Structure 1
Amino acid sequence: MENKDYEEAKMILEKLVLQSPEDPEVNFHLASVNDSMGLETSAIPYYRRAIENGIQGERLEAAFIQLGSSYRCIGEYQFAKDVLSTGMEKFPNNPALKAFYAMTLYNLGEHKESVTLLIKTLITSSDDEWLKRYEAALKFYSEDIDGVWN
């Protein structure tokens, strides 16, 4: 979408959210438009409302990712960690949740945990032949990223 289209979509969705403030779909879409426009702070309350009001399926998954990412973007790392952690509990096989969580861990100074999670996510979510070839070694080293073997 071009910027003009986002502005128009935002205006329409703002009217809809005034008419149906508890509608999880409308809240999700308004949050997403704000997010796409770089307005993460504005997006956050709409993502929260979408989740609190029962958005379902892939949109719930996306809402956790996008809310966590928005918190991370504005430097609210602990909020990001909490949201993404909850998302991973509900959707443990979602590699995007894990990637955003790993970035958040990095931002919180939890570098070892971040790298370990990224490596595990990479090897379990990729079909790349090179990664598969070295999967056992990568798993082993990810368990003790600081280890040295002589």
Structure 2
Amino acid sequence: MQDYIQLINDQKFREANVLLLKLVEESPNDPVINFYCAVTYDALGMERKAIQFYKAALTSEINGPLRERTYVQLGSSYRCVGEYQKCRNILEEGMMEYPHNLAMKVFHSMVMYNLNENEESMTSLLSILVSTTSDPWIAKYSKALEFYSDKLDQTW
């Protein structure tokens, strides 16, 4: 295992960050190093700095499970710093590639709320809730919740 991954696993984010910044200098186009450098900035609460490294990871064509994580974490970071349209764009790009990733869909629902697209936000969240819950009460009313999810302003 790489030293920086062990440091991250041990939650030694500052030490991992110092090591990863040196590695980025040596290999600026390495998508995995850029990804983990972003992770350390994220863990340190420095989302604005993390963004550039997540973007570099995508530009350098990171692949596999880390690519999927990059979309989620970049989208989340954009939302955290108030870059709502960028968040929406990156999450929608990620959802095209990973349509079954529910975390991306939830973050997308959150940013739709931030963009005052509340109906789309709630519709998506209700759909995710109904499809993933193990709560017996939600399961019991799942058909009604699903039916009403895109009719939130409608009355009968």
Could you state the TM-score of these two structures normalised by the residue count of structure 1? 0.93
3-state secondary structure, aligned to 2:61? coil
2:31 is the counterpart of 1:20: no
Residues paired across the two proteins, number: 149
State the match for 1:10 in structure 2.
17
d(CA) in 1 for partners of 2:132, 2:63: 23
Aligned-residue Cα RMSD (Å) equals 1.7
Could you state the TM-score of these two structures normalised by the residue count of structure 2? 0.90
The correspondence for 1:107, drawn from 109, 114, 118, is 114
1:92, distance to aligned residue in structure 2 (A): 0.9
Corresponding letter in the other structure for 1:24 = P
**Contact 2:55-2:74 within 8 A present in 1 as well:** yes
1:21-73 Cα shifts (integer Å, max 9, x gaps)? 11110000000110111100100011011111121122111110110111111
The 3 A distance-change label for structure 1 pair 19 and 135 is same
The 3 A distance-change label for structure 1 pair 121 and 40 is same
d(CA) in 2 for partners of 1:35, 1:4: 12
Unpaired runs of 5+ in structure 2? 1-7
**Contact 1:95-1:125 within 8 A present in 2 as well:** no
State the match for 1:40 in structure 2.
47
d(CA) in 2 for partners of 1:125, 1:50: 30
State the match for 2:36 in structure 1.
29
1:4, distance to aligned residue in structure 2 (A): 8.0
1:104-143 Cα shifts (integer Å, max 9, x gaps)? 0000111111111100111122333332221111110002
Give % identity: 42
d(CA) in 2 for partners of 1:4, 1:59: 19
State the match for 2:81 in structure 1.
74
**Contact 2:24-2:30 within 8 A present in 1 as well:** yes
